[in-house]
Chain A
Amino acid sequence: MVSGSETSAFFAMVWWTTAVASVVAAWLMVFLRDLLKAAIAMAVVFLAVAGFLVMLNAEFLAVVQVLIYVGAVSILVVFAVLLTRDVFQGNIPHAHQGWVFLLTGVVLFLLAFIVLATPWHLLSASGMDAASRGALVATWVNPTPTLGRLLVREFVLPFEAVSVVLLAALIGALVIARER
């Protein structure tokens, strides 16, 4: 939408490196037998996605991603692995893994087909006049102030609802995990 550095060879190189890193880390997460190592691989996937968010002009989301996923969710998973003492038994697939592989392959094929068959270029902002395009670029060069305004104006109701959801889930987690 916003013309920028996407066309440079350096950007493409960084993009492909991050993409390969994320896919390899996700693959390792599924196939490493040691759950602790799988949790580290999961953190690498989260970091790679944070890198993509930076490339997509979503710096605020990238920071939130590092804070919540890499900082909190990964640690939570590691603690759960340690507390359940099944580390030595590890990350074992069940007997029907072949069927699941087939099903997942079909899903991936369908998703990729839909993505590649959709004429996305019809949805670009190429028909805009110069003034709107300038305002659009100005918004996307530094989107965080606009994002903050949107969160407390247009989207204030979902924002409050999701905060109540988070509070309820955390209290529920405390109640469920409590020693009786």
Chain B
Amino acid sequence: MLAPIGLSHYLVLSAILFSIGMFGVLSMRNLIAMVMGLEVMFNAVLLAGVAVARYVAPLPLRVAQTGGEGIAMTLTGQVFGVFIITVAAAEAALALALVLAVYRERETVDATRLDSMKH
């Protein structure tokens, strides 16, 4: 009844999560809600990267027999997952510190009212 789960399932799900996160970033007025959307976008990219690593074999594995080195390299997607999580953590800390600094300065976190550079 249910089709076997493949790479396309993960990638379409990742695209849906990415779009919802993007909608959150672009349509909200609250800076914290925008940061939350950004984190969901990061998570969607992480999911896509790890899924591709799981289902797609790198070129050396397909053209010829390779030793342990080539097979270890199929985990490159997971290595970059580690990097994505690290960078997202750094981004979250920095973004929320900026939100707090803006709030202390302007008494608001409403993005539509942070328009001093327009005037």
List chain B residues, Cβ under 8 A from A132: 61, 65-66, 71
B108 touches A136 (CB 8 A): no
B15 touches A72 (CB 8 A): no
What is the predominant secondary structure among interface residues of chain A facing chain B?
helix
List chain A residues, Cβ under 8 A from B99: 80, 84
Classify chain A: how many residues form its interface, as a range: 35 or more
Question: A103 vs B51: C-alpha distance in the bound complex, in angstroms?
Answer: 26
Given contacts A13-B2, A84-B109, contact A61 B94 (CB under 8 A): no
What is the predominant secondary structure among interface residues of chain B facing chain A?
helix
A173 touches B94 (CB 8 A): yes
B79 touches A147 (CB 8 A): yes
List chain A residues, Cβ under 8 A from B85: 61, 64-65, 68-69
A93 touches B96 (CB 8 A): no
List chain B residues, Cβ under 8 A from A6: 4-6
Question: A131 vs B22: C-alpha distance in the bound complex, in angstroms?
Answer: 44
Within 8 A of A (CB), among B1-52: 1-13, 15-24, 26-30, 32-33, 35-37, 39-40, 43, 46-47, 50-51
Q: Which residue of B lies closest to A11 (CB)?
A: B5
Contacts A11-B5, A30-B20 given; 9 further ones with Cβ under 8 A? A7-B4, A12-B2, A53-B50, A57-B54, A58-B54, A65-B85, A73-B39, A107-B18, A120-B7
Top 9 A-B pairs, shortest CB-CB distance: A169-B90, A125-B57, A173-B97, A111-B15, A108-B19, A177-B97, A12-B2, A115-B11, A100-B27
